[in-house]
Structure 1
Amino acid sequence: MRLETQAIICAVRPHGEHGAIVRALTPDDGLQAGYVRGGRSRALRPVLLPGNVVACEFRARTADQLPHLTAELSVSRGALLSEPLPAAAIDWATALAAAALPEGQPYPRLYLALDGLLGAIDAAPAARGWAAALVRYELLVLSELGFGLDLSECAVTGSALDLAYVSPRSGRAVGAEAGAPYREKLFRLPGFLGDRGPAEWDEIHDGLRITGHFLARDVLIERHAEVLAARDRLIERLKRVTG
């Protein structure tokens, strides 16, 4: 097995005295894991940071063997890790990919979405420029894993007009009139998810409540549940910034 590709570092954990096991998302071959010899060294630690883009090579003698990985830095986001909000966003976005995606399955749309989100965080660390993209990234993760939400029409009437809510049970949109008697039990549907204007902060938080509910219920369960702690840290920091 030999694979040369660009990849986004998503997770790094120590292995042995000096090595590291790295999980990285590739454009065409999905999530790939590899062992990096000396991955905990002073030279490689700045390269193997979640969010960094690397030119890498995976090599293994058999398909069952954990590949050896060599990586050369292409895009560094290490400077952002000293800023609490961007650091929390990068930590969560990459951890979600590492925890939720099965290895070796291609997710080209998710690669592009994650790369775009990280680029937006890099360009606008203050969150105004990337918070809506984060909601859309989480929605795409749900969709690509088979848990997509249907926000195109009302689950009750079938109408695509005046959609105002999302059912926490079905993940389907509900119109304003049909949902009014049950609004305390429904999520508010942010207008920006229906291409109705720019994303305001209250709508962004509404969107994050929706995606957080379905990620916790359908994707990050059992052994992956601890990954949600990274999301909780991000949400708390966003609340401090936006009030």
Structure 2
Amino acid sequence: MRLETQAILLSVRPHGEHGAVVRALTPDDGIQPGFVRGGRSRRLRPVLMPGNLVQTDYRARTEEQLAQLTVELIRSRAPLLGEPLAAAAIEWSTALSAAALPEGQPYPRLYAALSGVLDAVEAAPAARGWAAALARYELLVLSELGFGLDLAECAATGATADLAFVSPKTGRAVSEAAAGAYRDRLLPLPAFLLAGGAADWEDIGAAFRLTGHFLRRDLLIDRQADVLSARERLLDRIGRIMR
């Protein structure tokens, strides 16, 4: 087996005295794991950082064998790690991808979306420039893995306009008119998740509450303690600038 492709590094785990097991998201072959000889060396440590874009060369004798991996840096996002918000965004987006996606399954839309989120963080380390894109990425992860929300029409009336809430039980949209006395039991649906465009802090906070409910309930059930802690650190830092 041989695979040469660009990839976004998602996780790096020490292996042996000097090596590292790396998991990276490729455009057409999904997450691919590989062993990097000397991955803990001074030369490779700056390269093997989650969020970096690298050129990879995977080689294995069989499909079942962990591939030997060599990497060359294309784009480093290490300078962003000095910015607390940007670092937290990179940590969470890569940790979510590494934990949620199965290996070897192609997710070209997620690769493109994650690349876009990381580019947005790089272009504007302040959260206002990328927080909405990250919330949309969480929504796309749910959708690509079969837990997508049904936001096309109101669950009660079939209306496609004025959708303002989501049922926390069914994941279906509910219109403002149909919510009635149940609105306090529903999750607000920010308009930018449907129509795109800019979002204010109130809408961004509502989007993260919405996606967070379904991430916890449906996707990260067995890995909440370690993976979701990265999300909590990010939201805590965002919350400080929203006050």
TM-score by length of 1: 0.98
Correspondence 1:119 to 2:114:
no
> What is the match of residue 157 of structure 1?
157
Give the secondary-structure state (helix, strand or coil) at the position aligned to 1:128: helix
Deviations 1:93-128 (A, max 9, x none): 001110000000000000000000000000000011
Correspondence 1:177 to 2:173:
no
TM-score by length of 2: 0.98
Post-superposition, which runs of at least 4 consecutive aligned residues in structure 1 deviate over 4 A? Answer: none
* Identity across matched positions, percent: 67
Correspondence 1:198 to 2:198:
yes
Mapped contact 1:50–1:90 kept (Cα < 8 A): yes
Deviations 1:162-198 (A, max 9, x none): 1111111111110112112111111111011121763
Mapped contact 1:86–1:126 kept (Cα < 8 A): yes
Give the secondary-structure state (helix, strand or coil) at the position aligned to 1:190: coil
> What is the match of residue 137 of structure 1?
137
Alignment size in residue pairs: 243
Mapped contact 1:99–1:224 kept (Cα < 8 A): no
Cα displacement (A) at 1:210? 0.6
Cα displacement (A) at 1:215? 0.7
> AA paired with 2:38?
G
> What is the match of residue 148 of structure 2?
148
Structure 2 counterparts to residues 203-222 of structure 1, below 5 A:
203-222=203-222
Cα displacement (A) at 1:225? 4.5
Unpaired runs of 5+ residues, structure 1, are none
Deviations 1:126-167 (A, max 9, x none): 011111100110010000000001112100000011111111
Unpaired runs of 5+ residues, structure 2, are none
What RMSD in Å do the two structures reach over aligned CA positions? Answer: 1.0
Counterparts of 2:196 and 2:56, CA distance in 1: 41
> What is the match of residue 99 of structure 2?
99
Correspondence 1:38 to 2:38:
yes
Counterparts of 1:241 and 1:207, CA distance in 2: 17
185-194 or 103-112, larger mean C-alpha shift: 185-194
> What is the match of residue 188 of structure 2?
188
Cα displacement (A) at 1:81? 0.6
Mapped contact 1:216–1:225 kept (Cα < 8 A): no
